[in-house]
Amino acid sequence: MHKTLRLPSMPAALLALWLFPALCLARTPGADECREAGDFIRKAALARDGGITEADFISRIRDDIEIMQSLPPDMRWFVQDEEDAEFLLAAATEVFQKPRLADEHQRDFVKACLVKARNKPKYSL
């Protein structure tokens, strides 16, 4: 005779509340993501040196950010929230408005990102 293990039923609302933090909380980008975003900023400077205009680059990054923000937080790359989007956009804009060597932009971005990550709550809504 088979006995089936039955778990007590949990109302859907209670289950949703239990899962809500895992589904909706944005996490703070970590050191690896700061380095990856730094690589992105470096490549922005290289693209600038290769002739892409600020308007074209910023338009493309805004489109990318919009796509990232349409994904659930746990599937997003660097841009977890609006603050992250503004941070990345500001760095990309600086690449064009205050041109320096690509490696300098990368280094300064990673340093600022790591400081920002240390001062940001681990999770935010």
- Sequential DSSP letters for the chain: ------PPP--HHHHHHHHHHHHHPEEPP-HHHHHHHHHHHHHHHHHHHTT--HHHHHHHHHHHHHHHHHS-GGG-SS--SHHHHHHHHHHHHHHHHS---HHHHHHHHHHHHHHHHHHS-SEE-
Tell me, what's the pLDDT at 114?
94
| Average pLDDT, rounded, for the chain | 80
Question: Which pLDDT band, with edges at 50, 70 and 90, does 74 fall under?
Answer: confident
> What's the rounded mean pLDDT across residues 47-55?
98
Q: Which residue type sits at 116?
A: K
14 against 55, higher pLDDT: 55
Question: Which pLDDT band, with edges at 50, 70 and 90, does 86 fall under?
Answer: very high
| Residue ranges of domains in the chain | 29-124
Q: How far apart are CA 50 and CA 102, in angstroms?
A: 12
Is the predicted pLDDT of residue 23 greater than 50, yes or no? no
> What's the rounded mean pLDDT across residues 52-60?
97
Residues 96 and 48 sit within 8 Å (Cβ to Cβ): yes
Residues 45 and 102 sit within 8 Å (Cβ to Cβ): yes
> What's the rounded mean pLDDT across residues 34-53?
97
Question: Which pLDDT band, with edges at 50, 70 and 90, does 124 fall under?
Answer: very low
> What's the rounded mean pLDDT across residues 95-123?
90
